[in-house]
Structure 1
Amino acid sequence: MRFVSLSVFYSKTEVATVETELLRDYHFGQQQLIEIWGHACAIAITKAFPLSSLSKKQPTLLVVCGPEQNGSIGLVCARHLRMFEYEPTIFYPKRSPQSLHQDFTVQCEKMDIPFLSYLPTEVQLLNDAYNLVIDAILGPETDHKEVKEPYAGMLVTLKQVKIPIVSVDVPSGCDVDEPAKDGINPEVLISLTAPKKCATGFSGKHFLAGRFLPYDIQKKYELNLPEFPGTECVIEL
């Protein structure tokens, strides 16, 4: 595994501006971006937790999805992990009415990925049932100061689990623009597009996922992204 040091982290506004330009000027589709990110997240998870490294007999994972874009990335990630022979289960308590999100849900259902009807508050049940939790609950688009139920209760539960947590882009409950302190404390963080300011000082495994940004956008916004090795779509920072 190649490691790259990083000195620049980006704000919520900066990353949102880049995404808007991708959609508006480069004609990327929202579904296309979510698919790219979700696939890259799944690849990062296979690098951090290879099947051979899992402690339980079955390669079980719990993917916890929120109602917005991060949740959809979690759904795509779960689908790809299933193709990689992991056994994901999804908890998706408030399903988005948007057709885009519904499409990703149907794809998971068609692959016989189980959906939980509730998240056990008995933390030991989660520790016993799964090898790790994938936190795809609250992304950069969420105001961390206004986390409502059921998500506030979910964060309380997940902060107590003993198994590793992998957070997608932003640890849920954290302020995107501040070093993470109030939210979930993951063992692995997967930054999408570019690492956010909340990743400053993160001491766990940190991946950058998604190798698709046009070079002129990288230059325009002075993103200074690391060079991915070979044909890799993720890199460990």
Structure 2
Amino acid sequence: MALRTLGPKAAAALDEELMSSGAFSIDQLMELAGLAVSQAMYALSPPSKTPNILVACGPGNNGGDGLVAARHLFHFGYKPTIYFPKQTKNELYGRLRTQLEQLKVPFTDDFVGEAKRTDWIIDAIFGFSFSGEVREPFPAVIKALAESKVPVLAVDAPSSWNIDSGPPDDGPGKGYNPDALISLTAPKPLVKWFKGRHFVGGRFVGKEIANKYEFDVPPYKGSDQIVEVGSHGEKL
């Protein structure tokens, strides 16, 4: 049986509730999400096999999850490189960047060139709130993801996909179906079109709030922050 999915409106309402009555800060939620992403990457391929990771970060919360994941990956023994072209003045993102700079994690402006030299790419560009057109400088980046021979792990959603209706019929994301996906908190409806390895992460929501928003908490084991499920969210 497949895990129930969480649509974009419900996901936004859940985040709002977690940061109000749930008493979580955005920093906490980003830290938990980024940790889950880094654990999914380790489950896919440890640093002894594929040390070089290119993390593509967008300007929103999905990009923040990517920045946090890169820090954890560094401490796991990987060599991350960050592509973060649209940086905001938000203090949180400034702190996340500073933490990476203090670790001497490099930033690059050349995504396409760096993608040819890396072992894995983490797509943390757009999350569940994405809609509309892909704006510069990301069309070329997403086109490169679609054409890449390097494996890709997408964070919560393959960038350019519609959360409800899946991959685009045209544009830079046409034909893009990453090798792996980590759904944060719960799978989104787009998993119907996903074909790769699929993880759910974000082990902090209780059953009461899961029942309220009508999604399932997967069976996490031990101290794991992630659980692998079927490509369409089926329990393995």
Q: Same fold (TM over 0.5)?
A: yes
**Distance in 2 of aligned mates of 1:44 and 1:119:** 22
Matched, 1:25 2:21: yes
Matched, 1:142 2:130: yes
C-alpha contact (below 8 Å) 2:177/2:194 kept by paired residues: no
**Distance in 1 of aligned mates of 2:168 and 2:62:** 20
**Distance in 1 of aligned mates of 2:37 and 2:57:** 14
**Distance in 2 of aligned mates of 1:79 and 1:44:** 14
Query: How many residues align structurally?
Result: 224
Q: Percent identity?
A: 37
What does residue range 1-237 of structure 1 map to in structure 2 within 5 Å? Answer: 6-54=2-50, 59-120=51-112, 126-127=115-116, 129-143=117-131, 145-182=132-169, 183=173, 184-237=176-229
Which sits farther off after the overlay, 218-227 or 168-177?
218-227
Residue 38 (structure 1) shift: 0.2
Q: Deviations over 1:93-146 (max 9, x none)?
A: 1111111111111111111000002323x5xx633x110110001111221x22
Q: Deviations over 1:3-59 (max 9, x none)?
A: xx52422210111111111011111000110011001110111001123443xxxx1
C-alpha contact (below 8 Å) 1:169/1:189 kept by paired residues: yes
Which sits farther off after the overlay, 194-203 or 102-111?
194-203
Name the TM-score, length of structure 2 as normaliser. 0.90
3-state SS, counterpart of residue 231 of structure 1: coil
**Distance in 2 of aligned mates of 1:109 and 1:192:** 26
Which sits farther off after the overlay, 8-17 or 220-229?
220-229
Residue 181 (structure 1) shift: 4.7
Name the TM-score, length of structure 1 as normaliser. 0.90
Task: Name the Cα RMSD after superposition.
Answer: 1.5
Question: Structure 1 residue runs of 4+, over 6 Å off?
Answer: none
**Distance in 2 of aligned mates of 1:189 and 1:109:** 27
C-alpha contact (below 8 Å) 1:65/1:90 kept by paired residues: yes
C-alpha contact (below 8 Å) 2:4/2:214 kept by paired residues: no
- Which 5+ residue runs of structure 1 have no aligned equivalent? none
C-alpha contact (below 8 Å) 1:167/1:190 kept by paired residues: yes
Residue 158 (structure 1) shift: 1.9
3-state SS, counterpart of residue 134 of structure 1: strand
C-alpha contact (below 8 Å) 1:180/1:199 kept by paired residues: no
Instruction: Tell me the amino acid that sits aligned with residue 33 of structure 2.
Output: W
Q: Deviations over 1:199-225 (max 9, x none)?
A: 124221000011001222012222122
Instruction: Tell me the amino acid that sits aligned with residue 100 of structure 2.
Output: C
Residue 80 (structure 1) shift: 0.3
3-state SS, counterpart of residue 111 of structure 2: coil
**Distance in 1 of aligned mates of 2:6 and 2:77:** 34
3-state SS, counterpart of residue 19 of structure 1: helix
